Structure 1
Amino acid sequence: MILNAAGTHVNAVSLTVFLLLFVLVTVVGFLAARWRRASDALHLDEWGLGGRGFGTVVSWFLLGGDLYTAYTFIAVPALIYGVGAAGFYAVPYTILAWPLVFMFLPRLWSVARSRGYVTLADFARGRYGSRWLALAVALTGILATMPYIALQLVGIQAVLDTMHLGGSSGLAKDLPLLIAFAVLAAYTYSSGLRAPALIAFVKDTLVYVVVIVAVIYIPIRLGGYGSVFHSAAQALAKTSPATGKPRGSLVPGPSAQWAYATLAVGSAMALFMYPHSATGVLSAKDRNTVRRNLALLPAYSLMLGLLSLLGFMAIAAGVGKGVTGYNAQLAVPQLFEQMFPSWFAGVAFAAIGIGALVPAAIMSIAAANLFTRNVYREFVKPDATPAQETAVAKVVSLLVKLGALGFVLGIDKQFSINLQLLGGIWILQTFPAVVGGLVLRGHSSRWFHPWGLLLGWAAGMAYGTWTAYGVAVAGKPHSHFGGSSASIPVIGQIGYIGVTAFVLNLAVAVVATLVLRAVRAPRNQDETVAADYTLQSPPEAAQLPVIEPSIS
């Protein structure tokens, strides 16, 4: 044991293992700048999409590292630790997502590769000929991504707090997080999407090892799964001081079923509307790579199901028991610290910490791509060269990460979590514009009018934001943005606000489109053609580097 600046004991073995693995991924991140880089290194395709040359293996790790984040590692078990079975919504939603997105993601890859689109907003711009609809999609993506990045840093901070790194207050307390942030910013700036693509191999390997060991080793120490579930059931049945009701249950009651189902469905629909998800898809080398990954990615859902059980294990292990105002986000790191040998606790902490770096890097790159293509080039400098686009994207990626750091350091962590829940409601409102343009009325014809989609988007955003604002935090009746569920109009059941806002969005878009078509309102030309949506691989694919796991 060693003492930190606050006089708290730090486990030297755990810290050493953690630092060694962190240094390893830092070196890999900087090496990625030279990893099969094309001669046109200043093109945004190179920095922001890895040259569009990732093969099946790299794409699988990249998308897995992108979608299954450190915050997932911490927040899903933390939710189950707090309320029980309701937290398992994340498992069915990731299962629902894959057949859903199989309908449109291969088409998205084809049209994006054919037309050189880098973002979902690029597709909206080309499909509907509307720069304003594209701007709405872009700004929604950036807005929803910012708190998501912040929560990756919250995940890192949870690990650092558990390891007792940093001082008791001020700069000393935040210094380890600032160092991690600086490393992330530096290799993202220099290497672009190639850095998280390479680091994802280390991250996902560590996560799988830690989860498999945890679901076998920890229950053995706790007396088996029967004992774990028994302890969890007893603890969840106790009355919560904040609400005066039972803390949770092992099985959602009838009143919670609508909320559970709508949250799962809405989250599945929103998953690939996030800019970072689309970035991972558009970096694939051909359409079959996308299709293979959509067939293989459900393996992560199995891992997530096992990971969720850690919430019950934390209850059974007595993590946080008797602590007033306990932060459930620390449940998993403290469970690892309590149950694992020091050296393996260091591995587990590294899995969470590195698990934050990969998605945070991809998210900042995706947000930078959106700003560069759909704000800077569209409204500020239409004649921007590829080199100028890349330079702007690099700077914006740093600014986005700085903004996320500001969330973590300057705003209450719970508020950051609430903003991320709001981000899910927001990003779902881009679904009609993107998916509607990809699947409705065949490949080459449009049904929605762009102004109808804009009106629907505005209605969904306004309703979702206002309704979420009216949700109070449990035990704080005059607070706001306390959750993402509220009463569904007409039905009267509690459900996910995002789905209700989406239904309103879609209804307004359909009615407005019918009216605009009836009055023969003008609409700009669709620049895409039928062949764009069926492209299997680009003609130059034979000359493109197929990026697989090798840095030689």
Structure 2
Amino acid sequence: MTVGEHTTEIVISTTLFLLVSIIGFVAARWRRPPTLLHLDEWGLGGRNFGSWITWFLIGGDIYTAYTFVAVPALLFGAGAMGFFAVPYTIIVYPLVFLFLSKLWTEAHKGGHVTPADVVRQRSGSSTLALLVAITGIVATMPYIALQLVGIEAVLKAMHVPGSWPLIAAFAILAAYTYQSGLRAPALIAFVKDFLIYAIIIVAVIWIPAKLGGWDVIFGAAEKKFAATGATLLNAGNQWQYITLAFGSALALFLYPHSVTGVLASRSRDVVRRNMTALPAYSLLLGLIALLGYMAIAAGVKPIVTDGKADANTVVPVLFDQMFPDWLAGIAFAAIGIGALVPAAIMSIAAANLFTRNIYKEYLKRDATPAQEASVSKLASLVVKVGAVAVILLIDPQFSIDLQLIGGVIILQTLPAVGLALYSRWWHKAGLIAGWAVGMALGMWMLYQIPNAVTKREHFGGSAFPLAKWFDPALVGLDPKTAVYVGFIAVLANIAVAALVTVVVRARSAPAAALSEEPQRVRT
């Protein structure tokens, strides 16, 4: 097919994209403050978002365009293993219910803008805060790039040539984010979520009806995976599934962009209400995942680029095949807009980390609020340019692997950002040592994982075969048992942090007692 045969889809999706962009620019006047040259206003939307706005903002941030294309693509290629995203988004909200309300309270009392700010205040260590900030920025960068993967998949499905549409889309995003700050994605999130909910509801009714029903869909999936046994989990991947789901749940709200939506809330009650309401998105995610099985039944073939099949194009091609042109255009717009909201929030979150925890802490301690806001706006532009460069210069498959690595990386901030939030027992030396060990172990394990599809020997995934360490059969496990790297690394992180804390506090206790003894004698 040629571009001309997709004219209706291109016109509709482009029109909706431009309308949303206008909303992004208009957002600067929404609840307009006296000035946007303050991180509370530009970076956190005035810290005054209520329940509905926060629900759409956090939901729009977590359930991204990449989720829309990657989760079904994983089911399309790997079967049951791809469903890990559904349970992890179910268990995450009870896990973080108390944590996020506590984090909001600490940030609100101290006027903090980033999670690293909270770490700085509670630990008294600028070094630990710097490590948390750098970790957050590094983990966020590939996540932003993956939003471009979603847009790129749509462009491929419409046979739009060249990279200029991708560059133009992010240039527009950069412009209205620079002007409006967090207000832009907050306002656009309403449109994005409405479109995605509408398209998915239509898809789960329309597509099965055209294919002959759910029996046909599940039958086609079972037939495809019968040879590999991927219809259900097996003894070799059950532990990978469990640790990946649990580890991903622990990591989700450690990402700076997830925390940014929380800190922009009006009160801790708003945060709690959202943690009870956001599981509604998990139902949507389950329906999105089933698009992968629908694609199998529809006989979808991923688009081949440079001799390689791009699995991320499965959903766009499915929509193109099964929907009329006008509806496919709306669906493509939903995916494209679904990339804008999280990409904007992620760039703002990364920029805030750089400004507060690197620029202000180490480069200009006397920076005014206006200077902080200006630096953060410029940093957000740099982050977006970097994301575009990643997609244009690096194999998209590698950027996906980078995101898996990003999950392992951000999970190493759990003790400093999460556990230390509830107790001051943790010593800063222990938290730093734990971070270093967890990061080193995680990178070492990832380095040893090959990718059979891309033929890359290192950093090919996040599932570590236990057989590299010992024979799993000795403890009653399947010889092919693998576990999520991030889960093992963070356990080592916590263990080292606790051990060093015990040692440091044991050594400092006698010294503290001796320093108090002369005072008791004098009195």
Q: TM-score, normalised by structure 2?
A: 0.93
Structure 1 runs not aligned, ≥5 long: 167-172, 239-245, 441-445, 524-552
- The equivalent position to 1:452 in structure 2, one of 420, 426, 430, is 430
- The equivalent position to 2:215 in structure 1, one of 186, 207, 226, is 226
- The equivalent position to 2:205 in structure 1, one of 197, 213, 216, is 216
Q: CA deviation at 1:437?
A: 1.9
1:109 is the counterpart of 2:104 = yes
Which one has a larger percent helix, Structure 1 or Structure 2?
2
Q: CA deviation at 1:327?
A: 1.4
Residue 528 of structure 1 aligns with which residue? none
Q: CA deviation at 1:322?
A: 11
Residue 149 of structure 2 aligns with which residue? 154
Kept after mapping to 1: 8 A contact 2:302/2:313: no
1:516 is the counterpart of 2:490 = no
What are the residue-to-residue correspondences of 1:332-481 with 2, within 5 Å?
A: 332-440=315-423, 446-475=424-453, 479-481=457-459
Given the superposition, is the C-alpha separation of residues 38 and 522 from structure 1 closer, same or farther in structure 2, using an over 3 Å criterion? farther
Residue 164 of structure 1 aligns with which residue? 159
Structure 1 stretches of 4+ with a deviation exceeding 3 A read 321-325, 475-478, 488-493
Q: Which amino acid counterpart does residue 53 of structure 1 have in structure 2?
A: N
3-state SS, counterpart of residue 149 of structure 2: helix
3-state SS, counterpart of residue 253 of structure 2: helix
Q: CA deviation at 1:398?
A: 0.3
Residue 181 of structure 1 aligns with which residue? 170
1:190 is the counterpart of 2:179 = yes
Structure 2 runs not aligned, ≥5 long: 473-480, 512-523
Residue 201 of structure 1 aligns with which residue? 190
Q: CA deviation at 1:250?
A: 1.8
Q: TM-score, normalised by structure 1?
A: 0.88
CA RMSD of aligned residues (A): 1.7
Q: CA deviation at 1:439?
A: 2.4
1:260 is the counterpart of 2:241 = yes
- The equivalent position to 2:29 in structure 1, one of 30, 34, 37, is 34
Q: CA deviation at 1:321?
A: 7.3
3-state SS, counterpart of residue 457 of structure 2: coil
1:93 is the counterpart of 2:88 = yes
Partner Cα separation in structure 2 for residue 418 and residue 192 of structure 1: 29
Given the superposition, is the C-alpha separation of residues 200 and 98 from structure 1 closer, same or farther in structure 2, using an over 3 Å criterion? same
Q: CA deviation at 1:236?
A: 2.1
Q: Which amino acid counterpart does residue 16 of structure 2 have in structure 1?
A: L
1:498 is the counterpart of 2:486 = yes
Q: CA deviation at 1:465?
A: 1.0
Partner Cα separation in structure 1 for residue 446 and residue 389 of structure 2: 23
Report how many aligned residue pairs link the two structures: 499
Partner Cα separation in structure 1 for residue 421 and residue 123 of structure 2: 11
Between the aligned residues of both structures, percent identity stands at: 59
Q: CA deviation at 1:315?
A: 0.8
3-state SS, counterpart of residue 101 of structure 2: helix
Given the superposition, is the C-alpha separation of residues 321 and 193 from structure 1 closer, same or farther in structure 2, using an over 3 Å criterion? closer
Partner Cα separation in structure 1 for residue 239 and residue 334 of structure 2: 34
Kept after mapping to 2: 8 A contact 1:70/1:352: yes
1:125 is the counterpart of 2:124 = no
Q: CA deviation at 1:343?
A: 0.5
1:308 is the counterpart of 2:276 = no
Partner Cα separation in structure 2 for residue 472 and residue 522 of structure 1: 50
Kept after mapping to 2: 8 A contact 1:9/1:164: no
Q: Which amino acid counterpart does residue 407 of structure 1 have in structure 2?
A: V
3-state SS, counterpart of residue 309 of structure 2: coil
Q: Give CA-to-partner distance per residue, 1:97-153, whole Å, 9 cap, x none.
A: 000000210111111011001001001000000000000100000000000000001
Kept after mapping to 1: 8 A contact 2:412/2:435: yes
Residue 520 of structure 2 aligns with which residue? none
Q: Which amino acid counterpart does residue 417 of structure 1 have in structure 2?
A: I
Residue 477 of structure 2 aligns with which residue? none
Q: CA deviation at 1:522?
A: 12
- The equivalent position to 1:328 in structure 2, one of 284, 292, 311, is 311
Partner Cα separation in structure 2 for residue 41 and residue 307 of structure 1: 37
Kept after mapping to 1: 8 A contact 2:430/2:498: yes
Q: Give CA-to-partner distance per residue, 1:374-421, whole Å, 9 cap, x none.
A: 000000000000000000000000000111111000000011000000
